[in-house]
Structure 1
């Protein structure tokens, strides 16, 4: 979002309402968590807030004890429903507390590129940094944290990082749990669509899948492991390869909902009965999980809670740097959500 807009260019609540096709009162209810709004409406409002850069005039409403006015957010601009939902959640948390966001997307960047982007945001007024994988891991290295001079936090990493505060779930245990659920239902030829190796959460989820197989005396077969990049398109290619195997998998666990939705697409094209012929699971519990047929059994990440905890930590670190000298690791609970795809 860069520098603050002049008043004549300020995005209004009416503009958000028009984008979503709801009343300004409904937008206000979503922002203030009052009244009633369906989950679908809420998520569309949050997405519009993030897309338009709407910031309410709520300078008096700040995080408890906060003095932070501007946070820089760095993320990878891949086509991902989870990334979009995370951006929307962060935007709403910031708007609720009168915090300006600078948002920067970088693709296929090196650690040096990410560090340069962070330094540029700091020069433009960012008092703290909020990061998403894989750039959290890159800046978590001491070589690229030195000289930034501002606190940094990361959402949705798979592990604690030595120089950045992390807010996450236990990705490995979550993937083990959902794979175990399929095993308990009698599935024995379980394949996986993993995430890219540079994403720590993708690596942890692959390990969790393997943990479940080994714990049940099942073989970890590389032929049943395909790699995607968390996009729908990569899920299509991975599903085609896995469903060409003989014997064909009787279940596919995907490491995010986008790729799981792609598996359903290919399975329908091939005339498979779901879940009789093939069980499919996702990860994240994004909006797409309930917009496909059958709706996805998946792992729910508490996106809003992660965003809130990260912003609260950053606010405290700006106000009291002496109390936040040592980065923390906040692990929130995940939830297995059973639907009809498994």
Structure 2
């Protein structure tokens, strides 16, 4: 059997390939952002990378530099498409720039755990840190960024933070745009599933929902708004709650695609039709959006590109090679209409 560990016990690409059930070349494609790799394969490889703690030695093959740049990434779990895409984006940027990427996994989204991970990354040599949601909002204002004294950027954060860069889409405008699309299809009784309070994007998306209703002259109804946790299971629960209303919504808009998929499942269990009886929409344009039936209408936020741009910003701050100096970078979003809402309600 081929050896899979380097001298000193380091995890090799071959070990990652064996864990993921793919070739070493496929792992290399994913890590370096080259070649043609499906979204599902990329997710599997990134899960193996993080389970094994593999750290690609990109710096070893880069050109000599006066100062070593190492980007640390703080995240909770790679077991969803959002975080897999974020890690791929960061790898794309670091591979292109010839700098090193190291990761710090956090067990739970609380400040103490985030601080432990960030300080650990700095001790291991990281001189800039990329934060997955919700760690930007957890860390900001705590004094930790100032204490560490290194550049920090938060991915997919919809607003400005005083002590770090934020890179993402305009969550509020994006949700309002999707509401406008649903209204154009004839919907006026629209349910909404919020995200968790720990994410700053959640109140922004709720505000965007309110904006969209107000623009269409639709009165606010608390009964049509129900909480979720950005998980499939919470989407099922939210869908059941909205389907228990005496007067059903004609459309349900969930704050992410995992919850929207759960809502779709709840609708199917009631033997209702999507979109003829109830339309469904989500947010992210995760791979699941085109895997479920009917395919999911959603707001596309380009997570891989957002993470890549954020990592480029960090590299520029560390190396002084230029790049954007703005600390608040907004990326374009796109409303994607698929089968789950492509139906005009009869005009009464």
What is the TM-score normalised by the length of structure 1? Answer: 0.87
Listed as ranges, the matches of 1:139-154 within 5 Å are 139-141=139-141, 143-154=143-154
Rate the CA distance shift 1:163–1:249 in 2: closer, same or farther, 3 A: same
SS at match of 2:147: coil
Once structures 1 and 2 are overlaid, which stretch shifts more, 243-252 or 23-32?
Answer: 23-32
CA distance in 1, matches of 2:170, 2:106: 26
Listed as ranges, the matches of 1:83-122 within 5 Å are 83-91=83-91, 93-94=93-94, 97-110=98-111, 114-122=114-122
Tell me, which stretches of 5 or more residues in structure 1 are unaligned?
A: none
How far did 1:181 drift? 0.8
Tell me, which stretches of 5 or more residues in structure 2 are unaligned?
A: 342-348
CA distance in 2, matches of 1:311, 1:147: 21
Rate the CA distance shift 1:32–1:82 in 2: closer, same or farther, 3 A: closer
2:13 maps to what in 1? 13
Once structures 1 and 2 are overlaid, which stretch shifts more, 328-337 or 118-127?
Answer: 118-127
Residues 168 and 306 of structure 2 are in contact (CA less than 8 Å); yes or no, is this contact kept in structure 1? Answer: yes
CA distance in 2, matches of 1:63, 1:195: 44
Q: Aligned pair 1:227/2:227, yes or no?
A: yes
Residues 50 and 92 of structure 1 are in contact (CA less than 8 Å); yes or no, is this contact kept in structure 2? Answer: no
CA distance in 2, matches of 1:293, 1:66: 53
CA distance in 1, matches of 2:35, 2:146: 46
Cα distance per residue 1:205-237 (max 9 Å; x no partner): 111111111100001111100111111121121
How far did 1:98 drift? 4.2
1:339 maps to what in 2? 338
Q: Aligned pair 1:205/2:205, yes or no?
A: yes
CA distance in 2, matches of 1:66, 1:180: 52
Once structures 1 and 2 are overlaid, which stretch shifts more, 13-22 or 253-262?
Answer: 13-22
Rate the CA distance shift 1:12–1:142 in 2: closer, same or farther, 3 A: closer
Residues 163 and 327 of structure 1 are in contact (CA less than 8 Å); yes or no, is this contact kept in structure 2? Answer: no
Q: CA RMSD in A?
A: 2.9
SS at match of 2:311: helix
2:73 maps to what in 1? 73
SS at match of 2:150: coil
How far did 1:30 drift? 4.0
What is the TM-score normalised by the length of structure 2? Answer: 0.85
Cα distance per residue 1:281-302 (max 9 Å; x no partner): 1111112112211121111111
Q: Aligned pair 1:318/2:318, yes or no?
A: yes
CA distance in 2, matches of 1:20, 1:78: 14
Once structures 1 and 2 are overlaid, which stretch shifts more, 65-74 or 185-194?
Answer: 65-74
SS at match of 2:148: coil
Residues 87 and 307 of structure 2 are in contact (CA less than 8 Å); yes or no, is this contact kept in structure 1? Answer: no
